[in-house]
Chains A and B, each alone.
Chain A
Amino acid sequence: AQKITQTQPGMFVQEKEAVTLDCTYDTSDQSYGLFWYKQPSSGEMIFLIYQGSYDEQNATEGRYSLNFQKARKSANLVISASQLGDSAMYFCAKKRPGANNLFFGTGTRLTVIP
Chain B
Amino acid sequence: NAGVTQTPKFQVLKTGQSMTLQCAQDMNHNSMYWYRQDPGMGLRLIYYSASEGTTDKGEVPNGYNVSRLNKREFSLRLESAAPSQTSVYFCASSEAGGWGYTFGSGTRLTVV
A→B interface (CB under 8 Å): 1, 4, 9, 33, 35, 37, 42-45, 47, 50, 52, 91, 93, 95, 97-102, 104-107
Contacts A93-B43, A102-B45 aside, 11 further interface pairs with beta carbons under 8 A come to A33-B99, A35-B99, A43-B108, A45-B90, A45-B106, A91-B43, A101-B45, A101-B58, A104-B43, A105-B42, A107-B42
B7 interface residue, CB < 8 Å from A? no
Once the chains bind, are B99 and A50 in contact (CB under 8 Å)?
yes
Nearest CB in chain A: distance from B93 CB, A: 12
Residues of A within 8 A of B40 (CB): 9, 106
Nearest CB in chain B: distance from A26 CB, A: 15
Once the chains bind, are A98 and B97 in contact (CB under 8 Å)?
yes
> When each residue 49-87 of chain B gets 1 if its CB lies under 8 Å from chain A and 0 otherwise, what string results?
010000010110000000000000000000000000000
- A1-B59, A100-B56 known; A50+B100 contact, CB < 8 A: yes
